[in-house]
């Protein structure tokens, strides 16, 4: 079975400052890795994913995540956050069969002006 | 509609009542998932359908939980004799699944917030 740990439940950050959200996973088999974002009063949206290939993946709105197999991590970073990045972020993993996702507990990011 | 829709958006039930939660996936999506999200936690997998076949129900917490997708489109999650610990947001997601080597993402609905008094 897989598990996902998000080490920070809340991350306050000032606008235009960098942010890093930590995600570690455990699995006995290879996994696919995902970051989902949930804006206030909205549903979950896929932010970015790692399936194979380059270990650094990027989203269209400036987030990036790096898959580190040796450390079993998939940390999410953004060099400069905006107020609109205020949301809850979930790290998730899946294995091939069925694509069901195993989520971490989430990290709430509050961007302050 | 363009996305996954769920109804009702909010449901209040008295302990012991039965409830039925509906999910309308994106048209053409063969894979459908149900997740349960307790307050302050991440979503947890309940069950998975491929078309009308329920291929994985390992996450259903008890035999009070039942899901169906009889025609491979709309799905219903039914909870019998609701308990207070069933209070959560129930999320539905659909996807095209894997097509060849192409992974297709899961699209989530807005969820149904169930409160059991």
Across the interface, whether the CB atoms of B103 and A46 are under 8 A apart is answered no
For residue B9 the two structure tokens come to: 């958006």
Question: For residue A79, what is the DSSP state?
Answer: S
Domain boundaries, chain B: 5-112
More confident residue, B66 or A30: B66
Taking contacts as CB-CB distances below 8 angstroms, the residues of chain B near A90 are: 42-43
Q: pLDDT value at position A2? A: 86
In CATH terms, the superfamily for domain B5-112 is Immunoglobulins (2.60.40.10)
Taking contacts as CB-CB distances below 8 angstroms, the residues of chain A near B106 are: 46, 99, 101
Any idea which fold A3-112 has?
Immunoglobulin-like (2.60.40)
To 5 degrees, how large is the angle CA A47–CA A51–CA A55?
Answer: 85
Q: Is the pLDDT score of B102 beyond 80? A: no
Counted across chains A and B, CB pairs separated by less than 8 A come out at 61
For residue B38 the two structure tokens come to: 């307790």
Q: Averaged in consecutive runs of 10 residues, what is the pLDDT profile of chain A (113 residues)?
A: 93 96 91 92 90 84 92 95 96 80 96 95
Are residues B83 and B15 in contact, defined by beta-carbon separation less than 8 angstroms? yes
A31-45, B29-43, B75-89: range with lowest mean pLDDT: A31-45
Q: pLDDT value at position A78? A: 97
A28-32, B12-16, B39-43: range with lowest mean pLDDT: A28-32
Mean pLDDT rounded to a whole number for chain B: 93
Where does residue B93 fall: left (phi above 0), alpha (psi -120 to 50 degrees), or beta otherwise?
Answer: beta
Taking contacts as CB-CB distances below 8 angstroms, the residues of chain A near B108 are: 36, 43-45
Are residues B76 and B68 in contact, defined by beta-carbon separation less than 8 angstroms? yes
Backbone angles phi, psi at B68, to 5 degrees: -145, 160
A53-57, B59-63, B111-115: range with lowest mean pLDDT: A53-57
The Cα A64–Cα A60 span in angstroms is 9
Q: Is the pLDDT score of B43 beyond 60? A: yes
Give the closest-approach CA distance of A25 to chain B in angstroms: 14
H or E segment to which residue B87 belongs: none
A25 touches chain B (CB under 8 A): no
Closest residue by Cα to residue B109 from B2, B1, B4: B4
């Amino acid at each position: 079975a897989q598990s996902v740990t998000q080490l920070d439940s809340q991350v306050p950050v000032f606008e235009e400052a960098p942010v890093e959200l930590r995600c570690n996973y455990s699995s006995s088999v290879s996994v696919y890795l995902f970051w989902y974002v949930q804006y206030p009063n909205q549903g979950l949206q896929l932010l970015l994913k790692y399936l194979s290939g380059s270990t650094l993946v990027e989203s269209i709105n400036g987030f990036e995540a790096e898959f580190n197999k040796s450390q079993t991590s998939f940390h999410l970073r953004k060099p400069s956050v905006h107020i609109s990045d205020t949301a809850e972020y979930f790290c998730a993993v899946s294995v091939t069969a069925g694509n069901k996702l195993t989520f971490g507990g989430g990290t709430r990011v509050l961007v302050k002006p | 509609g363009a996305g996954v829709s769920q109804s009702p958006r909010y449901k209040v039930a008295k302990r012991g009542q039965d409830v039925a939660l509906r999910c309308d996936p994106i048209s053409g999506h063969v894979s459908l998932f149900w997740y349960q999200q307790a307050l302050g936690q991440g979503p947890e997998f309940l069950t998975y359908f491929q078309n009308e076949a329920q291929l994985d129900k390992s996450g259903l917490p008890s035999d009070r939980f039942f899901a169906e997708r009889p025609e491979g489109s709309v799905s219903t999650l039914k909870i019998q004799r609701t308990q207070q610990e069933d209070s959560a947001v129930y999320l539905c997601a659909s996807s095209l699944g894997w097509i060849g080597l192409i992974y297709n993402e899961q699209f989530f609905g807005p969820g149904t917030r169930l409160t059991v008094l």
